[in-house]
Structure 1
Amino acid sequence: MKETKMRVAGIALAVGLVFGMNAARAAEIEVLHWWTSGGEAKSVAELKKMLEAKGHKWKDFAVAGGGGENAMTVLKSRVVSGNPPVAAQIKGPSIQEWGETGKLANIDATAKAEKWDSLLPAGVANIMKYKGHYVAAPVNVHRVNWMWANPEVFKKAGAEVPKTWDEFFVAADKIQKAGLIAVAHGGQPWQDFTVFESVVLGVGGPAFYKKALVDLDQASLKSDTMVKSFEVFGKVRKYIDKDSANRDWNLATAMVINGKAGMQFMGDWAKGEFTAAGKVPGKDFICAAAPGTDKGYTFNVDSFVMFQQTNADTTKGQGDLAAAIMSNEFQEVFNLNKGSIPVRLGMKMDKFDDCAKMSSKDFVATSKSGGLVPSIAHGMAVPSATAGAMQDVVTQFFNGTGVTPKQAADKLASAAKTK
């Protein structure tokens, strides 16, 4: 009887120790993000559930509005006051800028344990690193160089969906002659820049795009190829309706959905508008690479950077959060909700639609061929001040200010020197 009591006491002590260890490992993980609506909010809830299943407490730090600008303002004040969140939604070259502050956490241990180097294309992995060390976890991939088309509009006009820019002008002329709008567009600087980068990719190819819009090579920016890109870009303007100024991108998408316009050049978030309207890819709408860009892929990757923590339990929770973000489960559910595709290579795509499957296939192919390039229009290629100065040049040219393609190329080269 005495031995039995001792065994029971021993078991109770062991259980107590286990619970005590679990309690010690639990941490409050504060996450700053600006995903506050629709499928994004659903996806954040899924990440919260996964983290809490590992014994941690999720502390939501959502800052709505401004496409992340408001969140960055709040984040800067928190970091300056010495109280950064555990993780924050930051992407592209901004990761490097934050790395220079010395405040980011090294998450190499998680990345090594989860084999990130073999699960991510090098071009994406390098953006997640600062001085060779992982400091951020990638969430998804948006393809930017998409063209969305309404097959009924093309049928009415007797036009073919274009694969090259020469074919685009033939098709656009036919659509206009049929009394319809060839290109749905919102006259906002970021939308102009989105079209422009697809034109540069289509005219010059991925290697030229990288030299000019990522490496900011002055000779490439002033080259005949860039002048030709501006010529093509300027001609596209002729196929946009006169009421395009300040139109939101989703309203331009609606023009294609409703058969008022034939095409739109926009990232894969536009697909959500088609699917919400009950449209089926391949039947009611066509997703295709922008003219001349089928061998290229401009990407926009959302990610979470990790800030240094002094508490060991919080650091452990931070690693668990990073692992959860890159897990098969989260990559699938998040991207099904968001309209993007998993950044993790080798995932099953059977639950995704045909546009996403095509995007995933091209993502893998271009990651091997060198055609995978970061989107300058969506904050992935160069520092924000530089991108802003270059965007101004592009919009001024597109709005018909009397600048020639050659002058625009020279101005773009000068803007690329902005720090």
Structure 2
Amino acid sequence: MKKMEKTTRFARNLLAVAAGLTVAGLAQAGEVEVLHWWTSGGEAKAASALKATLQAKGHSWKDFAVAGGGGDSAMTVLKSRVVSGNAPAAAQIKGPSLQEWAAEGVLANIDDVAKAEKWDSVLPPVVANVMKYKGNYIAAPVNVHRVNWLWANPEVFKKAGAKVPTTWDEFFVSAEALKKAGIIPVAHGGQPWQDFTTFESVALGVGGTDFYKKALVQLDQATLKSATMDKVLETFRKVKGYTDKNAPGRDWNLATAMVIKGEAGMQLMGDWAKGEFIAAGKVPGKDFTCAAAPGTAKAFTFNVDSFAMFKLKNEANVKAQKDLAAAIMSTDFQEVFNLNKGSIPVRLNMDLAKFDDCAKLSSKDFVDTAKSASLVPSVAHGMAVPSAAAGAIQDAVSQFWNSDKMSVADAKAKIASAAMTK
């Protein structure tokens, strides 16, 4: 997962998932080697939960952890391992990168696991398709993060006489009221991925789902150069005007802390921000508000973590690999992992009794948007387009955010050009 999630805190009971699992497959105990970059704090506990799950099934776990939040270091190491014919059983890969690896012919077909566990009936088709290559499952999804969230401090809003906005027009009215009350309206961390995260929510809220799909998933040139994109960029620049001068370089969790402390009114950020509020002892609906980003209540930008399964030769290790895939999608693991991660289960049929109001809203919207075709992949978080194009668009977006002199027309041209990067 991205470096932004490094500071997410996990509750101590993460390993409890193993307790509910039956010991199986002891006769065919194998080793499962898993490459991931969950190496700090709570992320390491996430890996431990999977480890405990596999050990409960009688297999041994070989940790292949590579430090570096965004996974760039891990991918470099993985490539050298695969080229030398020594691939791990599973590796943390997501989005279009899954298809890029599958096209190399190195990923395993795990349709037998998916069929036995009925994945097609418990996953939304748009998510299932990301996990498949040419119709066959090659990866198992771990969780769903919703990216298009607005987090707000209700006490601060009350003080300013403002209301939590549901449209961009309301957003700027509220931002102005917060500013007049001496509060920083928008907590933002000026890092390219955070700029891109904000841009994504503005594009979805201003342009709507169809515009978002055409512009930021299909990379349609006419849509990227349209008048709607002008409005998106104008709105995006206007948001910048309500951030503070110390925003450049600030980590996302420090921006969240500004909202928690009442120094700022609101933040546009994915649901990993919830972990910061919870860790600070704040209660959803009382001490903080979670709402869809302005104009996006009927849409959902998803960021799904997943593990790609590599081709193996050892029969016992293949069995361990299949058990790993099944365990990742099990209701027990999905519950305990996501309860403490801020994300929601990727399965559609989960009992959410233990989840908080923000997670329940997220899950409801996840299910509803899956039915209405408004469930869209996050371009800012590697789910929508190949990494080269995503990186180039992110750079163009950040250049515009950081340059008051760049015109909307120039920014639009830069973004359209970046979308053609191969």
Is TM > 0.5 for Structure 1 vs Structure 2?
A: yes
CA shift, 1:381, in A, is 0.5
**1:98 and 2:74 matched:** no
Give the alignment partner of residue 375 of structure 2, picking from 372, 382, 389: 372
Q: Tell me the distance in 1 between the aligned counterparts of 2:169 and 2:229.
A: 17
Letter in 2 for 1:288: A
**1:176 and 2:179 matched:** yes
Alignment of 1:152-167 (within 5 A): 152-167=155-170
**1:186 and 2:178 matched:** no
Per-residue displacement from partner, 1:216-266 (whole Å, max 9, x unpaired)? 011110111111000100100110001111000001001000000000000
Secondary structure of 2:71 counterpart? helix
Letter in 1 for 2:319: K
Alignment coverage as a number of residue pairs: 399
Give the alignment partner of residue 143 of structure 1, picking from 114, 127, 146: 146
Per-residue displacement from partner, 1:5-44 (whole Å, max 9, x unpaired)? xxxxxxxxxxxxxxxx966511111011111233332232
Moved more, 402-411 or 368-377: 402-411
Letter in 1 for 2:280: A
| 1:311 alignment counterpart | 314
Q: Tell me the distance in 1 between the aligned counterparts of 2:354 and 2:283.
A: 15
Q: Tell me the distance in 2 between the aligned counterparts of 1:357 and 1:92.
A: 24
Q: Tell me the distance in 2 between the aligned counterparts of 1:35 and 1:116.
A: 25
Give the alignment partner of residue 320 of structure 1, picking from 314, 320, 323: 323
Alignment check: 8 A CA contact 1:144 1:375 kept: yes
Secondary structure of 1:192 counterpart? helix
Q: Tell me the distance in 2 between the aligned counterparts of 1:167 and 1:300.
A: 27
Letter in 1 for 2:391: G
RMSD after superposition: 1.2
Q: Tell me the distance in 1 between the aligned counterparts of 2:303 and 2:324.
A: 21
Alignment check: 8 A CA contact 1:143 1:297 kept: yes
CA shift, 1:142, in A, is 0.3
- Percent identity between matched residues is 73
Per-residue displacement from partner, 1:49-102 (whole Å, max 9, x unpaired)? 221222211111111223211211111111111100000000001101101110
| 1:25 alignment counterpart | 28
Higher Rg of the two aligned structures: 1
Q: Tell me the distance in 1 between the aligned counterparts of 2:39 and 2:83.
A: 25
| 1:226 alignment counterpart | 229
Q: 1:311 to 1:260 in 2, by over 3 A?
A: same
Alignment check: 8 A CA contact 1:42 1:337 kept: no
Moved more, 284-293 or 65-74: 65-74
Which runs of no fewer than 5 residues in structure 1 stay unpaired? 1-20
Give the alignment partner of residue 84 of structure 1, picking from 83, 87, 110: 87
Q: Tell me the distance in 2 between the aligned counterparts of 1:23 and 1:202.
A: 52
Q: Tell me the distance in 2 between the aligned counterparts of 1:23 and 1:353.
A: 37
TM-score (norm 1): 0.93
| 1:294 alignment counterpart | 297
**1:254 and 2:257 matched:** yes
Alignment check: 8 A CA contact 1:43 1:333 kept: no
Alignment check: 8 A CA contact 1:297 1:373 kept: yes
Give the alignment partner of residue 358 of structure 1, picking from 358, 361, 367: 361
**1:116 and 2:116 matched:** no
Q: Tell me the distance in 1 between the aligned counterparts of 2:384 and 2:26.
A: 42
Q: Tell me the distance in 1 between the aligned counterparts of 2:231 and 2:396.
A: 16
Secondary structure of 2:70 counterpart? helix
Alignment check: 8 A CA contact 2:54 2:327 kept: yes
Q: Tell me the distance in 1 between the aligned counterparts of 2:35 and 2:107.
A: 14
| 2:41 alignment counterpart | 38
CA shift, 1:317, in A, is 1.3
Q: Tell me the distance in 1 between the aligned counterparts of 2:254 and 2:152.
A: 15
| 2:62 alignment counterpart | 59
CA shift, 1:414, in A, is 0.9
Q: Tell me the distance in 1 between the aligned counterparts of 2:46 and 2:240.
A: 37
Q: Tell me the distance in 2 between the aligned counterparts of 1:272 and 1:366.
A: 24
Alignment check: 8 A CA contact 2:26 2:59 kept: no
CA shift, 1:289, in A, is 0.4
Which runs of no fewer than 5 residues in structure 2 stay unpaired? 1-23
Secondary structure of 1:140 counterpart? coil
Per-residue displacement from partner, 1:307-342 (whole Å, max 9, x unpaired)? 001112111111111000000000001101211000
Q: Tell me the distance in 2 between the aligned counterparts of 1:53 and 1:61.
A: 19
CA shift, 1:410, in A, is 1.9
TM-score (norm 2): 0.93
CA shift, 1:46, in A, is 2.1
